[in-house]
Amino acid sequence: MQKEYKSITSIAGPLVLIEGVEGIKYEELVEIQMPHESQPRMGKVLEASEGFALVQMFESPQGAVTHGAKARFLGETMKIGVSPDMLGRVFNGSGKPIDGRPEIIPEKRLDISGAAINPYSRDFPNDFIQTGISTIDCLNTLVRGQKLPIFSGAGLPHNRIAAQIARQAKVNDGSEFAVVFAAMGVTFEEAQFFQSEFEKTGAIEKAVLFINTADDPVVERIAIPRLALTTAEYLAYEKEMHVLVVLTDLTNYAEALREVSAARKEVPGRRGYPGYLYTDLATIYERAGRIKGKKGSVTQIPILTMPEDDITHPIPDLTGYITEGQIVMSRELHRKGIYPPADVLPSLSRLKDKGIGDGKTREDHAGVMNQLYASYARGKDVRELAIILGEAALDDVDRAYMKFANAFEDRYIRQDEHEDRDIIKSLSIGWELLKMLPQAELKRIKPEHIEKYMKADA
Amino acid sequence: MSDKHQGIIIKVSGPLVVAKGMSHAKMYEVVHVSEQNLVGEVIELNGDTASIQVYEETAGIGPGEPVYSTGETLSVELAPGLLEGIYDGVQRPLALIEKASGAFIGRGIQVPSIDRERKWDFEPKVSAGDTVFEGDILGEVQETTLILHRVMVPVGISGKITAVHSGSKTVEEVIAVVEDSHGKKHDIVMLQRWPIRIPRKSKGKRVPDTPLQTGTRILDTLFPLAKGGAGCIPGPFGAGKTVTQQSVAKFCDAQVIVYVGCGERGNEMTDVLMEFPHLKDPNTGEPLMKRTVLIANTSNMPVAAREASVYTGITIAEYYRDMGYDVALMADSTSRWAEAMREMSGRLEEMPGEEGYPAYLGSRTASFYERAGAVKCLGNGDREGSLTVIGAVSPPGGDLSEPVTQNTLRVTKVFWGLDANLARRRHFPAINWLTSYTLYQGNVSTYWSREVADDFTKVRNDAAGLLQEEAKLEEIVRLVGMDALSSKERLILETAKSIREDFLFQNAFDPVDASTSLKKQYWMLKCILTIYYAGQEVVEQEDFDFNALKQLPSFLKVARVKDIPNEKWDEFEAFEKKLRSEILSLKK
């Protein structure tokens, strides 16, 4: 028999203080019934102390009152009902369908905070995923079970790239991905873009969408990635699917966390974000992976917009320390009209070496990748030098590098939004470009590969 | 469980639990929280209330639930069976956790740190009637094919041996009985315990003078770390901290490796776990795992256990040091450890210091790194052991002025500074040769001239000097162009470029290039510097054609000097001679 308390003493933002309570648990769910409202509001216990509980409400405090409100503690932590029928459906931040169709009948109910995967039980991600985008496939290879974020900025086409990846991603064995998509605090248009994109291509049939738009409650924003990942883990480890999780936009998530932290009057860390931001983000990102003996996998592509394009801002910074690399968007390339505007040099995939090479992509992949990187870096330097000194001051080798850098941007990075380049195509464009440089400069590629592929492609 | 020593929870907030009725508790005592038996440690006492940091997720725990005392401080178990183990932050074997709760880590799992069933073949080195003191070796056990485990008399016990039991024993069976001067008999078993926050005793430290050979060229030649020293690797994300740490763990010539993955990625720990059993130790050809202990607290595992994990690791490392081994401890990353401290401090509502870190960050960091050292071990004989500590630091935004980096730099003598710009141009290891430093070069130079070559120090200093010079010249080139440089300056640029691209650049994923012996490093560098040594004699001639130098057949081959196999010193010598004579042939 659950007790009801009428002792709500204060409401500050999403936080509610309830006094005189007994037998409450940390993180337990709470229903608060406001007078004259038909539905109770939901919240969870943030701090459980003797005699009082600090509760965080999931919904807006609009119209909440202290007098006459009743709180009921449910004795369980937040759960989501999952079932394979969730594919093709759209949900909100509290897990309720918003596509006008009936509620699903859950097969089981799972705790949304999940548990950490035992590192001993993990299987190492090493299956190459072909996204059809050269800058990712060849230079920053994505593998199954990886978490590879897109660091973008306001006004850059990260959504189109994410949609392109979701549309084109496939693995050598031909199996396709189920997509779990979570939108946090995005605008209606952005949410609509993804939804219609999925509907247009028919991908919606194997996608689960969780949508929290900018005018939805802030606190739901904190729950939504966890709802999405719990669903993804269920589909991956119990239904043997390969799941691609797209989360957008983590910046809004971190802002929501800061908002709640400030309301709790916690000691702030850098730029007012709570000191536990790293740990909190880790509980989201680390839920990507593969488990020994299970067929499915969870691959994550979180998207975040860097405030002022600043990669040292706490959100991209802490994300970079947790995720296995990052794809950085460049405003400069975007202005030049190059799509996808992937800034190759600061981008990185830490797991690339495990997913490439003989038997996975091609034996020369690593060499070509390193050479393209090094040469493009040098070419960009030369281009800057040429601005100061004039092109006439460059020697022949430098001039070759400059031409290479321009061609690299134009032919390698640039591709159409609907162009699905396979890895062999990406590599051979790479070889064509490398021919622009003197052969003695190709120090990162094994001589036998130069022999084999440079000539073969000639 | 006895309900004699039992407190009641009055507050739960994240990993912090406050309980009353705890007047019997002592600081750093281990307690079990609630009926679920979550492991916690007392970190603050105030009247009869105790603040407890809980090493497991606290969701679902509430006021009114019990807290049970154990009377013991947080300790690790030390015995044969540690090697090849993979533990969480409080020394629970992850394999047993998997057995108990599946692929996801459950709560309140109590498993023994050391296998109690397994039998070891104990071979005594003492006999009844001998007098022994603390730290003396009682006998040996072949723990793995690589490491002979020396069973020592526990600290605090000395006296006469009255019995010795050899043969197949579990870690809990008595192997010897020691009668102390008061006539009290102590049963000695192989399993010993040691509180993690207290350094293990030794007879004293000595100045480290042997280099730790890591196989990474920039580290060994330019910025050597001595066995028993402390070094740090700070760097922004993506610069290669973990790759460098792992590469050192794989190839360095320490005999025992303790690798602490502290708040890092799960997949990275899995990588180590899956790779080490297959990789061969370059010195012995045995699998690397046979000399390794792994401690894994990934970033989504409970934050409080992260704080404990570095201490758990270093205590195990000290134990092997006491047997007389050279031990290396990698902590990746100490920033996560500091952040765990900050999180607990915030919840305890302590007065924050810089950037919200607790005011004791500096002293905790210092006392951690000070546990490194080359020591004379306790006990008989002249055993010497060393413990080298290499800590990665992850400064936010790559800004080295932040408190964790600054506190670390104050106590470590080697600084391997990673540079995001180098990483972006795929120059790996992305260690900046201008900002990094070592204070051990003087210590190891005697070793260098004895074991490698008389002029190693000179070659190293010349190379470092050329790189400095290059940085200056590049500024000039950027302003006025290459044409403004004299031939001699162009020679410096060419040599420095070769040092960077052909010597410092090293591919950690290439099986051959990943590790280079110290002597080969010397020869590679010597060959490269020949460009400069011999070049000086010709470039200052009038109308010297620099391209003629660059087109010399040997000059073009300098880049491939790394392909000359180890031990073929005569080939290196021949190449160096040929290069020198070709360059000198340009003399008019």
Residue carrying the six token digits 């420095």 = B496
Q: Which residues contact A38 (CB under 8 A, 6 or more apart)?
A: none
Q: Which residues in chain A are contacts of B483 at CB distance < 8 A?
A: 393
Q: Which of A115, A122, A444 lies closest to B267 in CB terms?
A: A122
Task: Let me know: does A155 contact A326? Beta carbons within 8 Å.
Answer: no
- Indicate the residue type of B255: Q
The pLDDT of residue A113: 84
Q: In 3-state terms, what secondary structure has residue A308?
A: helix
Task: Spell out the SS3 assignment of B479-532.
Answer: HHCHHHCCHHHHHHHHHHHHHHHHHHCCCCCCCCCCCCCHHHHHHHHHHHHHHH
Task: Spell out the SS3 assignment of A188-244.
Answer: HHHHHHHHHHHHHHCHHHHEEEEEEECCCCHHHHHHHHHHHHHHHHHHHHHCCCEEE
Q: Write the pLDDT tens digit of every residue in B243-279.
A: 899 899 999 999 999 999 998 888 888 888 888 888 8
| Residue ranges in chain A modelled with pLDDT below 50 | 1, 458
The pLDDT of residue B144: 93
**Strand residue runs (E) in B37-136:** 38-46, 49-54, 66-73, 75-78, 86-87, 120-124, 131-132
Q: How far is CA B60 from CA A220, B49, B220, B497, in A?
A: 20, 21, 51, 61
Are B343 and A23 within 8 A, CB to CB? no
Helices and strands (H and E) in chain B: how many? 16, 26
Are A276 and B343 within 8 A, CB to CB? yes
* Residue A232 tokens, joined: 């993804």
* Residue B1 pLDDT exceeds 50: no
∠ Cα B187 B192 B196 (to 5°): 145
Task: Let me know: does B564 contact B571? Beta carbons within 8 Å.
Answer: yes
Comparing CA positions, the residue from A353, A373, A309 lying closest to residue A135 is: A373
**Which residue blocks in B324-440 are alpha helix, DSSP H?**
334-347, 361-369, 403-411, 420-424
**Which residue blocks in B124-265 are alpha helix, DSSP H?**
217, 241-251
* Residue B391 pLDDT exceeds 60: yes
The pLDDT of residue B4: 55
- Distance separating alpha carbons of residues B117 and B133, to the nearest angstrom: 29
The pLDDT of residue B14: 83
- Distance separating alpha carbons of residues A47 and B10, to the nearest angstrom: 11
Containing B460, the helix (H) or strand (E) segment is: helix B456-480
The pLDDT of residue A3: 77
- Distance separating alpha carbons of residues A381 and B97, to the nearest angstrom: 52
Q: Write the pLDDT tens digit of every residue in B139-162.
A: 999 999 999 999 999 999 999 999
Pick among A147, A321, A387 to test the B interface (most B CBs inside 10 A): A321
Are A267 and B104 within 8 A, CB to CB? no
If contacts are CB pairs under 8 Å, which of residues 194-253 in chain A contact chain B?
Answer: 237
Burial B314-353 (b: 16+ CB within 10 A, else e): bbbbbbbbbbbbbbbbbbbbbbbbbbbbbbbbbbeeeebe
Residue carrying the six token digits 């509610």 = A16
Q: Which residues in chain A are contacts of B399 at CB distance < 8 A?
A: 312
Partner B contacted by A278 (CB < 8 A): yes
Task: Let me know: does A339 contact A157? Beta carbons within 8 Å.
Answer: yes
Neighbours of B191 (CB within 10 A): 19
* Residue B3 pLDDT exceeds 60: no
Q: Write the pLDDT tens digit of every residue in B48-81.
A: 999 998 888 888 888 999 999 988 889 999 999 9
Containing B459, the helix (H) or strand (E) segment is: helix B456-480
- Distance separating alpha carbons of residues B315 and B309, to the nearest angstrom: 10
Are A25 and B59 within 8 A, CB to CB? yes
Are A124 and B271 within 8 A, CB to CB? yes
Q: Write the pLDDT tens digit of every residue in A9-20.
A: 999 888 899 999
Q: What's the rounded mean pLDDT across residues B432-460?
A: 94
Q: CA gyration radius for chain B?
A: 27
**Distance to chain B for A313, nearest Cα, Å:** 7
* Angle between the N-to-C axes of helices A218-233 and A277-285, in degrees from 0 to 180, rounded to the nearest 10: 40
Task: Let me know: does A94 contact A115? Beta carbons within 8 Å.
Answer: no
Q: Which residues in chain A are contacts of B509 at CB distance < 8 A?
A: 353, 366
What is the DSSP pairing of strand B38-46 with strand A325-329? Answer: unpaired
Are B346 and A275 within 8 A, CB to CB? yes
Are A25 and B60 within 8 A, CB to CB? yes
Q: Write the pLDDT tens digit of every residue in A149-178.
A: 999 999 999 999 988 988 888 887 777 789
- Distance separating alpha carbons of residues A159 and A168, to the nearest angstrom: 14
Burial label for B163, CB within 10 Å (0-12, 13-18, 19+), is: middle
- Distance separating alpha carbons of residues B323 and B338, to the nearest angstrom: 30
| Phi/psi of residue B512, nearest 5 degrees | -85, -45
How long, in residues, is chain B? 588
Task: Let me know: does A284 contact A349? Beta carbons within 8 Å.
Answer: no
Pick among A22, A120, A291, A313 to test the B interface (most B CBs inside 10 A): A120
* Residue B344 pLDDT exceeds 90: no
Task: Let me know: does A149 contact A215? Beta carbons within 8 Å.
Answer: no
∠ Cα B402 B408 B409 (to 5°): 90
The pLDDT of residue B511: 80
The torsion region of residue A286 among left (phi > 0), alpha (psi -120 to 50) and beta comes to: alpha
What is the DSSP secondary structure assignment for residue B370, as one 8-state letter? T
Q: Which residues in chain B are contacts of A125 at CB distance < 8 A?
A: 267
Are B398 and A312 within 8 A, CB to CB? yes
Task: Let me know: does A412 contact A432? Beta carbons within 8 Å.
Answer: no
Q: What is the mean pLDDT of chain B?
A: 91
The torsion region of residue B84 among left (phi > 0), alpha (psi -120 to 50) and beta comes to: left
CA-based torsion, A125, A129, A133, A135: positive or negative: positive
Q: Which residues in chain B are contacts of A266 at CB distance < 8 A?
A: 346
Chain B, nearest residue to A327 by Cα: B238
Task: Let me know: does B419 contact B241? Beta carbons within 8 Å.
Answer: no
Q: Which of B104, B265, B396 lies closest to A118 in CB terms?
A: B104
Q: Which of B59, B86, B265 lies closest to A324 in CB terms?
A: B265
What's the start-to-end Cα distance of chain B, in Å?
Answer: 93
- Indicate the residue type of A351: L
pLDDT band at B584 (very low <50, low <70, confident <90, very high): very high
Partner B contacted by A115 (CB < 8 A): yes
Q: In 3-state terms, what secondary structure has residue A435?
A: coil
CA atoms within 13 A on the CB side of B348: 24
What is the DSSP pairing of strand A177-186 with strand A207-213? Answer: parallel
Are B356 and A267 within 8 A, CB to CB? yes
Are B300 and A116 within 8 A, CB to CB? yes
- Distance separating alpha carbons of residues A338 and B242, to the nearest angstrom: 33
The pLDDT of residue B347: 80
If contacts are CB pairs under 8 Å, which of residues 288-307 in chain A contact chain B?
Answer: 289, 291-292, 294
- Distance separating alpha carbons of residues B549 and B127, to the nearest angstrom: 72
Task: Let me know: does A30 contact A46? Beta carbons within 8 Å.
Answer: no
**Strand residue runs (E) in B377-469:** 384-393, 414-415, 437-438
Task: Let me know: does B481 contact A393? Beta carbons within 8 Å.
Answer: yes
Q: Which residues in chain B are contacts of A282 at CB distance < 8 A?
A: 263, 298-300
Comparing CA positions, the residue from A340, A286, A345 lying closest to residue B239 is: A345
Pick among B267, B350, B528, B547 to test the A interface (most A CBs inside 10 A): B267
Q: How far is CA A242 from CA B362, B540, B567, in A?
A: 46, 66, 49
Q: How far is CA A388 from CA A374, B205, B479, in A?
A: 22, 57, 8
Q: Which residues in chain A are contacts of B267 at CB distance < 8 A?
A: 122, 124-125, 145-146, 289, 324, 351
Q: Which residues contact A381 (CB under 8 A, 6 or more apart)?
A: none
Residue carrying the six token digits 């054609």 = B545
- Indicate the residue type of B133: F
The pLDDT of residue B457: 95
Q: What share of chain B is helix, strand, coil (3-state, %, to 5)?
A: 35, 25, 40
Q: Which residues in chain A are contacts of B502 at CB distance < 8 A?
A: 443
The pLDDT of residue A458: 47
The pLDDT of residue A391: 84
If contacts are CB pairs under 8 Å, which of residues 327-386 in chain A contact chain B?
Answer: 345-346, 348, 350-351, 353-354, 366, 370, 373-374, 377-378, 385
Q: Which of A49, A289, A317 lies closest to B11 in CB terms?
A: A49
Task: Let me know: does B165 contact B175? Beta carbons within 8 Å.
Answer: yes
Q: Write the pLDDT tens digit of every residue in B178-216.
A: 999 999 999 999 999 999 999 999 999 999 999 999 999
Are A278 and B339 within 8 A, CB to CB? yes
